[in-house]
Amino acid sequence: MKYTTTRKLLTSTALVSLTFAATAQTPSADALINKLVQKGVLTEKEGKELLVEDISTNQPSASKWRISNAIKDIGLFGDVRFRYEYRAADNAPGSGSTKDDYTRERFRYALRVGIKGDLFDDFYYGLRVETSSNPRSPWITFGDDSSPTPFAKNSDGLNLGQAYLGWRPTDWYEMTVGKMPNPLYVTAMVWDSDLNPEGAVEKFKLSLSPQVDLFANFGQFIYQDTNPDTAFPSSDTFLLAWQVGASAKFTKDLSAKVAPVIYNYTGVGQNNGLNNAYTGQGLNGINVGAATLNSAQFNQTGINDLLVLEVPAELNYKVGKYGARLFGDFAYNFYGDDRARAAATAAGPAILPHAFTGHNKAYQAGVAFGNLGLVYGQTSKKNTWEARAYFQHIEQYALDVNMIDSDFFEGRANLEGVYSAFAYSFTDSIIGTVRYGYANRIDKELGTGGVNPDIPVLNPIKNYHLVQLDLTWRF
């Protein structure tokens, strides 16, 4: 009797301890029960009963989000953006032209939300979902649903934007596989910032001194999967990137970075016009319908004859307490003349009377001032601002038009113009941004090659205007 009383007393004491542990966040209830069983205070049966009782007790404050032991840490990131946009283009005059201009005014929103962090044993990961299935834009337009009723949702879906796994075994090497944020040092002249390449990348870094770093990035990106494959191991189209670069810090407030990269393509695309010769032409000012955009005469997406060298660079310095940056980019297609000759052959003499060789380069030059990166939402701090502007020139046969920025300037070649933006951070996470861009045609005898859903059929574009007002919540 005395023994039973003693056991009940100890058991009650254990229960009180468990309750205190739950409220004061001392060692877990499971650990305390297991220790009492080990010491012989409780039998295994009594321990199991207590564990079941503890689990079934309604204690909301003790609720936990259980995470796999493989995950070292996890972080939530993303942004919500709202936009007013005015976009307009004038068609070059031509006989039989059915439309001389195109104007679009709309309100838009975009959501990007994801998780990323480190795993154990030097691995890391990232997952992100985003609105819109357009690879060069996450934006959704208010009221553009196909349903005739208001406030429909059929265009407001989420898509997988990023899913990648990386390995960083040392401070000088890492590799990533999956659908990833752009791992290269580039500009929007060549890569739209919304593109998330798919494939693999290897990155190397060598520090020559505390002031000078050398780096190399080698990317193998699957451009298009061919089905069925016509060769072993694969006839898929790959975009290969070979980049080497250097960054140097001359003083506390002065640094520079430059990183040439070569792009080449392997395999032959079988769909969406990639295997046709790119022409970039409209028909003497007549709008080219969507069904003919990738036809032999009017192809806008072909990736033939592309071996592109890109050289992005920047110089960073301080003006008082503000950051400043001079930046630029230069690109040259070594096969540009072959691309021009292929375009003339595919289009025929009625559309292209001869091959317009020599249109094989692109360049950008600009300046940024203030809290650098704020215009692109890369950073934010209350009451900071950034002003940014650049001039850009892209010739008809210089670049892969499927990848250049779809806003400035409409994802088209044979255009040049100016871009300007001003951003202000109202709080540590809320940013307001104003953007303006203007462009016009470079060579009046050529079309403005490329295709973009925002202005899908106007070709050639004589001049182009874009105004955007953004409000961004960054987290």
| Secondary structure of 365-399 as H, E, C letters | EEEEEECCCHHHCCCCCCCCEEEEEEEEEECCCCC
The stretch 33-47 carries a mean pLDDT of 75
pLDDT for the residue numbered 456: 77
> Please, are residues 249 and 211 in contact by the beta-carbon 8 Å criterion?
yes
Average pLDDT over residues 217-232: 83
Is the pLDDT at 24 greater than 70, yes or no?
no
| pLDDT per position as a tens digit, 424-440 | 999 999 999 999 999 99
**Confidence band of 1 (pLDDT split at 50, 70, 90):** very low
| Token reading at 39 | 């010491």
More confident residue, 264 or 456: 264
Whole-model pTM: value is 0.83
Q: How confident is the model at residue 22 (pLDDT cuts 50, 70, 90)?
A: very low
Q: Which range, of 288-302, 337-351, 376-390, 414-428, averages the lowest pLDDT?
A: 288-302
Q: Which of the pair, 291 or 347, is modelled with greater confidence?
A: 347
> Domain-by-domain residue ranges, the chain?
2-62, 75-474
Whether pLDDT at 271 is above 50: yes
CB 246 within 8 A of CB 276: no
User: Residue 97 to residues 283, 284, 444, 464: CA-CA distances in angstroms?
Assistant: 9, 8, 16, 18
Q: How far is CA 170 from the centre of its chain?
A: 26
Dihedral angle sign, alpha carbons of residues 376, 330, 185, 220: positive
Q: Work out the pLDDT band at 150, boundaries 50, 70, 90.
A: confident
- E-assigned strands of 145-303? 158-170, 173-179, 198-207, 212-224, 237-251, 254-258, 261-266
Which 8-state DSSP code applies to residue 457? S
Sequence-distant (6+) residues with CB within 8 A of 377 are 79, 81, 431, 433, 472, 474
Rounded to an integer, what distance in angstroms lies between the CA atom of residue 162 and that of residue 173? Answer: 22
Q: What is the mean pLDDT of residues 195-210?
A: 97
pLDDT tens sequence across 453-469: 888 778 899 999 999 99
Asked whether the predicted pLDDT for residue 249 surpasses 70, the reply is yes
The better pLDDT of the pair 91, 237 is held by 237
Is 371 in contact with 420 (CB distance < 8 Å)? no
Burial of 429 (0-12, 13-18, 19+ CB in 10 A): middle
**Token pair of 85, please?**
């946009």
What percentage of the chain exceeds 70 in pLDDT? 83
What percent of the chain stands above pLDDT 90? 67
> Angle formed by the axes of helices 2-24 and 29-38, to 10°?
150
Token pair for residue 234? Answer: 């694969």
Q: Which of 145, 92, 157, 103 is CA-nearest to residue 440?
A: 92
CA–CA separation, 76 vs 110, rounded Å?
17
Q: Higher confidence at residue 56 or residue 409?
A: 409
Which stretch, 16-20, 310-314, 448-452, has highest mean pLDDT? 310-314
Omega cis (within 30) before 460: yes
Judged against a pLDDT cut of 50, whether residue 161 lies above it is answered with yes
- Characterize 288-315 residue by residue with b for buried, 16 or more Cβ atoms within 10 angstroms of its Cβ, and e for exposed: beeebbbeebbbbbbbbbbebebebbbb
> Tokens 């900071």 identify what position?
384
Q: Which fold has domain 75-474?
A: Porin (2.40.160)
DSSP 3-state assignment of 263? strand
Average pLDDT over residues 351-369: 96
pLDDT at residue 371 in the model: 97
